[in-house]
C-alpha cells in the first residue's frame, strides 16, 4: 500500500476526530470585533502542532492576539519544494443575531456541522491541522518543508499574515485555506479610505438663510451637503469603471466604490463645518491598492474643481490602515493565480483525483489574506471548504462531505508537492 493510500485510509477511519477538532476550534470564542481574544485558541494550536514535531514561533501582533507559525523541516529541504498553509482563527461577530443553537458549540445535523467559524474558516484550519497530525501518526516523512501559519485579525483587516511575511517566512507555494467552495481562487483587492471636507468657518443654524439666498452676504456651505457632491462623483466613477474595466472570472462591475459610513456636523444648532466619508474600494487582480486609491483621488479632486465652494476647500484623503479596530482602515492586496505554475497544476490534479471532478479555477468575489502572500512574492492560491453564503451567516454551517473532500485533497497535495523536486533554475 502506498503512503497516500495509507494516509487516506487512516483519515477515513479518523473522520470523527476531524469533526471533533472542528468543534474544539469553534468552542474558542474569537469574534472580531472585539478581537484581542485569540491567545487560548492559538495556545491550543501551538500545542497540537508541537506534538506533531513542529517548531513553534509565537508572538503578539496585538496584546491578546498572537500569531503562531509552525515549521517542520523536510528531509531534503534544498532539493524539494516547500509549502505554507495559512489560515486565520478570528471569526465574524454574532451579536444581534438569533441562532438556533449556541454559536460556539458546534452541532452536527443532516450532514452539516454548524457553528460560528465553521465555513469561515475554522473548518479549513481544522482540516489543515488534521492532515498534519495524520502525517505524523503514520510517520510519513516529507522531503520538503511544511509550514502552518495560524494568524489573527483577518476579519478586521489586521493582517496577521502580513506580520508573518515581515518576519521573513516564505515558501515555494502557499495555500490560504479560507472559504472558496473548493475552487482554486485568486481575488480582487480592497482598500478603505476617509474623504474629509472641512469648512474654515463655523456658523449658527440661524445663518443658513444668509448662506443660501441671494443677498445673504455669507460665503459658506454645509460640509454634509458638499459631501453629497462627492458621493455623486464616486457613483459616476463606479459606473465608469463598470463599463471600462473587466477581469476574467469576475462579474462586470465587481470593482465597486461603497460609501460605507458618513460622519459630520456638531449638533442641530450648527451648520455642519466638517463631514467625513468612509469608503470601501474594490479593485481587480491586475490592479494595486495604490493605483485604485490614486484613481479615486484624482477623480474626486476634479469633481471638486467643478464646484464653486469645493474648488477653494478641496477634500482631504487618508487611505488604508492596518486595523479596522485601531485605525478604522484596512488594505487587502489583490491576488492573481498563476495557472501555469506547477504548484497550481498539482493542486488541480490532486482535487480531480480525490473529488472525481474537474477543478474550478476562478476569482473570489471577496478578499482574504492571500494578497499579502502574493505581494511578498510567494505564488499563492485560495483553496478551502465552505461557501460565502454560509460565511458570517446566522447559523453558519459547513458541509461535512465537502470538508472530507477538502482534507483528502489537501493530504494528497501536501504529499505530492513536498515530494516534487526543485528545478535547478529555481
The residues annotated as belonging to the active site are 90, 154
Between the CA of residue 354 and those of 28, 45, 140, 348, 351, what are the distances in Å?
Answer: 31, 27, 19, 10, 5
Rounded Cα gap, residues 385 and 105, in angstroms: 19
Cα 111 to the chain's mean position, in Å?
A: 27
φ/ψ of 326, rounded to 5, equals -80, -40
Q: Buried b vs exposed e over 365-390: b needs ≥16 C-beta within 10 Å?
A: ebbbbbbbbbbbebbbbbbbbbbeeb
- Which is it for the CA torsion 176, 178, 181, 185, positive or negative? negative
Q: How many Cα atoms sit within 13 Å of 141 on the Cβ side?
A: 6
DSSP 282: E
Distance of CA 220 to the CA centre of its chain: 43
Helix (H) or strand (E) holding 194: strand 189-198
User: Cell numbers 499579502 label which residue?
Assistant: 372
- Rounded to whole angstroms, the maximal C-alpha distance in the chain is 93
As a whole number of angstroms, the distance between CA 188 and CA 47 comes to 35
Measured CA to CA, the distance from residue 151 to residue 153 in angstroms comes to 7
C-alpha to C-alpha distance for 127 and 409, rounded to whole angstroms: 10
What are phi and psi for residue 381, nearest 5 degrees? -140, 155
**Which one, of 187, 180, 176, 194, lies nearest residue 324 by Cα?**
194
Between CA 120 and CA 122, with CA 121 as vertex, the angle to 5 degrees is: 130
The answer to whether 176 touches 185, Cβ cutoff 8 Å, is no
> Do 329 and 261 contact (CB within 8 A), yes or no?
no
List, edge to edge, every strand of the sheet that includes 55-62.
55-62, 65-72, 146-151, 83-88, 174-176, 380-382, 184-187, 361-364
Amino acid at each position: 500500500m502506498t503512503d497516500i493510500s495509507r494516509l487516506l485510509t487512516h483519515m477515513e477511519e479518523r473522520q470523527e476526530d476531524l469533526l471533533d477538532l472542528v468543534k474544539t476550534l469553534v468552542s474558542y470564542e474569537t469574534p472580531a470585533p472585539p478581537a484581542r481574544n485569540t491567545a487560548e485558541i492559538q495556545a491550543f494550536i501551538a500545542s497540537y502542532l508541537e506534538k506533531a514535531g513542529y517548531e513553534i514561533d509565537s508572538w503578539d501582533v496585538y496584546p491578546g492576539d498572537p500569531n503562531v507559525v509552525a515549521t517542520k523541516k523536510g528531509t531534503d529541504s534544498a532539493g524539494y519544494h516547500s509549502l505554507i498553509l495559512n489560515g486565520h482563527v478570528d471569526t465574524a461577530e454574532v451579536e444581534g443575531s438569533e441562532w438556533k443553537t449556541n454559536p460556539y458549540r458546534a452541532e452536527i445535523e443532516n450532514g452539516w456541522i454548524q457553528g460560528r467559524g465553521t465555513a469561515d474558516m475554522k473548518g479549513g484550519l481544522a482540516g489543515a491541522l488534521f492532515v498534519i497530525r495524520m502525517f505524523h501518526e503514520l510517520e510519513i516523512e516529507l522531503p520538503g518543508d511544511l509550514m502552518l501559519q495560524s494568524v489573527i485579525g483577518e476579519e478586521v483587516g489586521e493582517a496577521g499574515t502580513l506580520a508573518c511575511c515581515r518576519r521573513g517566512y516564505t515558501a515555494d507555494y502557499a495555500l490560504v485555506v479560507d472559504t472558496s467552495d473548493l475552487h482554486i481562487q485568486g481575488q480582487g483587492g480592497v482598500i478603505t479610505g476617509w474623504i474629509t471636507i472641512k469648512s474654515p468657518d463655523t456658523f449658527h443654524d440661524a445663518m443658513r438663510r444668509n448662506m443660501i439666498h441671494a443677498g445673504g452676504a455669507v460665503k459658506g456651505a454645509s460640509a454634509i451637503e458638499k459631501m453629497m457632491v462627492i458621493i455623486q462623483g464616486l457613483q459616476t466613477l463606479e459606473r465608469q469603471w463598470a463599463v471600462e474595466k473587466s477581469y476574467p472570472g469576475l462579474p462586470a462591475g465587481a470593482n465597486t466604490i461603497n460609501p460605507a459610513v458618513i460622519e459630520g456636523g456638531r449638533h442641530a444648532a450648527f451648520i455642519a463645518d466638517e463631514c467625513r466619508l468612509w469608503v470601501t474600494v474594490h479593485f481587480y487582480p491586475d490592479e494595486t491598492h495604490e493605483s485604485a486609491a490614486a484613481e479615486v483621488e484624482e477623480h474626486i479632486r476634479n469633481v471638486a474643481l467643478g464646484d464653486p465652494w469645493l474648488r477653494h476647500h478641496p477634500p482631504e484623503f487618508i487611505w488604508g490602515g492596518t486595523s479596522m479596530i485601531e485605525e478604522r482602515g484596512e488594505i487587502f492586496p489583490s491576488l492573481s493565480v498563476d495557472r501555469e505554475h506547477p504548484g497550481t497544476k498539482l493542486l488541480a490534479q490532486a482535487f480531480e483525483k480525490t473529488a472525481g471532478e474537474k477543478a474550478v479555477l476562478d476569482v473570489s468575489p471577496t478578499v482574504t489574506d492571500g494578497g499579502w502572500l502574493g505581494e511578498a512574492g510567494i505564488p499563492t492560491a485560495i483553496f478551502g471548504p465552505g461557501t460565502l453564503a454560509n460565511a458570517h451567516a446566522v447559523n453558519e454551517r459547513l458541509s461535512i462531505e465537502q470538508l472530507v473532500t477538502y482534507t483528502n485533497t489537501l493530504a494528497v497535495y501536501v504529499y505530492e508537492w513536498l515530494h516534487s523536486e526543485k528545478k535547478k533554475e529555481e
